[in-house]
């Protein structure tokens, strides 16, 4: 089984991810009617295998992660030999102070040979905490 993940905050701050990807401040961008700060990322040229590239969109006031757009790079160098491209758009939502979770995800997979694209959508419907949240 092959697992492909959309970029999330734990990836963008992971020392291994940071050491193996190039980052570029792309400036301000607008998505969903919000003005955001866009940071582009891509695997370092020394990475010969499939990886991810994309952009992280941060709230321009709080710098909280709001969206990521992610593309699988070099899918032909993975177990996905029939895949031409995989694209993700993930939206994050702050559920309580300091906790942002994936709110929704759309993934589009296009194939090399004859098969139509596959579109997958996910949405977080409810979040429950086992213990009371600390008072801010």
H helical segments located in the chain: 9-12, 15-19
Question: Is 91 a domain residue?
Answer: yes
Secondary structure of 105-117 in HEC code, one letter for each residue: EEEEEEECCCCCC
Q: What is the mean pLDDT of the chain?
A: 88
Evaluate whether residue 130 is within a structural domain.
Answer: no
The reported pLDDT for the residue numbered 77 is: 85
Q: What range defines the domain where residue 15 resides?
A: 9-123
**Residue 131 in this model has a pLDDT that exceeds 90:** no
Examine residue 42 and state whether it is found in any structural domain, yes or no.
yes
In the predicted model, is pLDDT for residue 67 greater than 70? yes
Q: In the chain, how many domains are there?
A: 1
User: Taking the model in full, what pTM does it have?
Assistant: 0.85
Give the pLDDT mean for 7-31: 88
Contact 54, 60 (CB under 8 A): no
What SS3 state is found at 17? Answer: helix
């Amino acid at each position: 089984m092959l697992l492909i993940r959309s970029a999330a905050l734990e990836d963008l701050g992971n020392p291994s991810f940071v050491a193996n990807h190039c980052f570029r401040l792309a400036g301000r961008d607008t998505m969903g009617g919000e003005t955001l700060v866009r940071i582009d990322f891509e695997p370092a040229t020394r990475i010969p295998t499939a990886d991810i590239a994309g952009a992280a969109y941060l709230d321009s006031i709080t710098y909280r992660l709001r969206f990521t757009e992610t593309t699988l790079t070099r899918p032909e160098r993975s177990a996905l030999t029939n895949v031409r491209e995989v694209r993700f758009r993930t939206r994050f939502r702050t559920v309580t102070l300091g906790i942002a979770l994936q709110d929704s995800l759309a993934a589009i997979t296009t194939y090399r040979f004859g098969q139509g694209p596959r579109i997958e959508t996910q949405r977080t419907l409810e979040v429950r905490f086992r213990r009371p949240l600390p008072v801010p």
